[in-house]
Structure 1
Amino acid sequence: MSSIYFVTFCTWERLELTFAARQVVMAACQYFHGRQYTIFAGVIMPNHVHLLIQPWLKGTGKFWTIGNLLHSIKGFSARQGSLVMPHIGKLWQDVRHERLILSDRHFHSTVTYIEQNPVAAHLVKPSEVYPYAWSNLFD
C-alpha cells in the first residue's frame, strides 16, 4: 500500500478561479480518482487546491508519483479551464506543497482542515455546504 499525502497547489499569481473553473478542477480530480489515486478529501478554493491523496500502483509495479498525479490534474484542468475562464498565461504554479500523513490522527485532522477551509476563508457559513469540497465523495 502506498503512502497518503496532504497536497496543496496554487494558481499562477494567485489568479482567482471562477465558479465554472472550480467545477472543471473538481471534474479533473474526479476523472483520475479510481484510476491513478484515491482522494479521501479535497477542496477547490478560489486560488488553491487541497487534496488528501493516495497514489495507486501503475502497471509497472511502481506507484504513481505526486508529480505525475498533479501533472494529470493540472494539465486536464488547464486545458478545460481555458474554455470557461479565458486568461493570458499559466493557470497553475509549478511548485506544490506536500506532507506525508503519518498517523490516523494526522489523517483525520487533515480531513477536518480541508472541510473547514471554505468556512475559515469566509466563503460559506458553518451551516452551509461549499460545493467544491468533498470527503469520500467518490466511494
Structure 2
Amino acid sequence: MNERDFYRSRLPHIQPLGGTFFITTRLHGSVPQVEKQRLAEDFLLHQRQILARPDHTAEELDRLNKTFFVAYETILDKSDYGPKWLSINALSDIVVNALHYFDTKLYDLIAYCLMSNHIHIAFTLNADKNGQSGSYLQQVMHSLKSYTAIKCNEMLDRSGSFWEHESYDRLVRDRNELHRIVNYILQNPVKAGLCQRWQDWKYTYIKPEYNDFD
C-alpha cells in the first residue's frame, strides 16, 4: 500500500462549493519512506477492523483519520528528516505571496502557518458568479502548489518534485470545529517549541475578521 492509497482510503473526499477546508501539505521527501509505509499499513489495518463491524460509525472513522494525521504531524514537527526549504525566508515569501494572491480569486483565506517542511491552511472555496460551479479543491491546490514549486525550484536552481503530490484535507463541519482548527494552525510553531507566542512566528497569519479565534 502506498501513500496515495493511504490518503484516498481515509474517507470520501467531500468538496462542496463554499465549503471550508483545513489543508496540510508538505515538502517532497519530508517523511521517511519506511515511516510512510508503516503508517499506511497501520491505518489500513485499523480501518478494516472498524469497517468489519456492522455497527461502526462515521465518528470512529473520523477519529481514526485524526489519529493518523497527528502521527504524521509529529514526524513533521520534529523536522529531522528531508528538506527544510521553507526555513529559507525567500522561499516562504513565495508561498505566502501565492496564498494571498489567490485569496478572493479561488478562496476566502482564513489562516495559515508555514513550518520548515510543511504548511497548514484554512480557507473557504469560492463558487462562481452564478453559484453553479467553482474552484474544486484539487484544482485550487494544484494551482497553488504548481506555481510555488516552479518559483521555489527556480530560486533553488533545482528540478524535480517540490511538494508531495497528496495533501491532507478535511472539510470543516461547523464554526466550533473551525475555531479548533484555526487555533491548531496558529499554535503549531508554539507546540513545536519554536516560539512562545504564535504572534512571534513570522509565517503565521489569521485574517482580521477571524481574530476572535486566536
TM-score, shorter chain, exceeding 0.5:
yes
Query: Size of the alignment, in residue pairs?
Result: 139
Check the 8 A contact 1:39/1:53 in 2, yes or no.
yes
Distance change >3 Å, CA 75–CA 59, structure 1 → 2? farther
Q: 1:27 aligns with which of 92, 97, 108?
A: 97
> What letter is aligned with 1:83?
E
Check the 8 A contact 2:127/2:133 in 1, yes or no.
yes
Higher percent of residues as helix: 2
Percent identical among aligned pairs is 23
**Where does structure 2 lack aligned partners over 5 or more consecutive residues?**
1-16, 31-82
Q: 1:6 aligns with which of 22, 36, 42?
A: 22
Partner secondary structure for residue 13 of structure 1: coil
Q: 1:16 aligns with which of 68, 72, 84?
A: 84
Check the 8 A contact 1:7/1:98 in 2, yes or no.
yes
Q: Does 1:49 align with 2:124?
A: no
Higher percent of residues as strand: 1
CA RMSD of aligned residues (A): 2.0
Q: 1:95 aligns with which of 145, 166, 171?
A: 166
Aligned to 1:130: 201
Q: CA deviation at 1:46?
A: 0.8
Q: Where has structure 1 moved over 4 Å in runs of 4 or more?
A: none
**Where does structure 1 lack aligned partners over 5 or more consecutive residues?**
none
Distance change >3 Å, CA 64–CA 128, structure 1 → 2? closer
Cα distance in 1 for partners of 2:90, 2:154 equals 10
TM-score normalized by the length of structure 2: 0.60
Q: CA deviation at 1:107?
A: 0.5
Q: CA deviation at 1:29?
A: 0.5
Cα distance in 1 for partners of 2:95, 2:198 equals 24
